Amino acid sequence: MKKTAKDIDIVIDLLLEEHKKKMTKSQVVDSNDQVITALLFRAKELKEDLHGFNTTDIVKGTCLAIFAAATDTTTVTLTWALSLLVNNPLILTKAQQELENRVGRNTKVEESDLKDLVYLQAIIKEAMRLYPAAPLLVPHESTEECIVGGYTIPKGTRLLVNIWKIQHDPQIWTDLFEFQPERFLTSKKEIDVKGQQFELLPFGSGRRMCLGMSFGLEAVQFILASIIHGLELQNMSNDHTDMTESPGLTNHKATPLELLVAPRLLPHLYAVCLARPLPPLHLQHPLVCLSSTTASLPQAI
């Protein structure tokens, strides 16, 4: 973990140095470099108002949060959710039926529709429970000596919370390794992901919980809804998609997700209207290919 942190720090340092070299006081922020350049300009303007904090550290931390935490965890969550759905076609069909009832096949999904998609929300909660994008929360430190579960925790101890273990605790969850979104519509209906119920903590809890929770949750809901509403999905073979997890700070799927997809909505709802129907597409990684395959992509995605 320490070596990975150093490697990431070096990469971001190089990225910032590259942008600093291109910056002049009269330079207009280019759209391709807008985020990093704007951060550097703003940090320079606020240098005297940062209460002693190092401006470089603030910019580096912000870049890491934007480029690593937001994109990586969102992609991981969507990959697991899609894998679970194609392995459970009855649940996928039920989710698509909810979309047809709430949205219809004559229009694409809008952000305003998300609040009505309660089964989709349950699917995402269950995917986050089974396969949390970050199995270990950000490190915490004990401010004083305490006893937890019979163990003495000295003051100043670095603490890592294992939410994967919490979310697979047999004392809390029944059929804990089964994909059952319905649990969040019945026995676990009151549980959300906002850090107030400690049984489910995909974004952490307290003052150090994920700052991008609202954005990340809405992004996952919107993208997943758009994909399953706009595309028919199935495995490449009759075998189930392999659900092996890989070791790391982020809980990536060990093997690529391979799917056959085909459009399921009216042609005018897609980014490109075609003169003939699309054949099924072979996607090595749907989250990457879907974002670059405009011929088969609903405009909402």
Give tens-digit pLDDT for 195-235: 888 999 999 888 878 877 888 899 999 999 999 999 999 88
Question: To 5 degrees, how large is the angle CA 237–CA 239–CA 243?
Answer: 115
CB 161 within 8 A of CB 136: yes
Q: Note the pLDDT tens digit of each residue in 112-160.
A: 999 999 999 999 999 999 999 999 988 889 999 999 889 999 999 999 9
29: Cβ contacts below 8 Å, ≥ 6 apart: 37, 38, 41
20: Cβ contacts below 8 Å, ≥ 6 apart: 40
Q: Note the pLDDT tens digit of each residue in 85-97.
A: 999 999 999 999 9
Q: What is the pTM of this model?
A: 0.73
pLDDT at 273: 40
Average pLDDT, rounded, for the chain: 82
pLDDT at 47: 64
CB atoms closer than 10 angstroms to residue 136 = 16
The reply, when asked if residue 210 is annotated as ligand binding, is: yes
Confidence band for 286, pLDDT divided at 50, 70 and 90: very low
For each of the domains in the chain, give its residue range(s) and CATH number, in order of start: 1-53 (no CATH), 54-142+165-296 (1.10.630.10)
CB atoms closer than 10 angstroms to residue 93 = 12
Mean pLDDT within 64-76? 77
Residues 73, 76, 82, 88: is their CA dihedral positive or negative?
negative
pLDDT tops 50 at residue 31: no
Question: To 5 degrees, how large is the angle CA 146–CA 149–CA 150?
Answer: 75
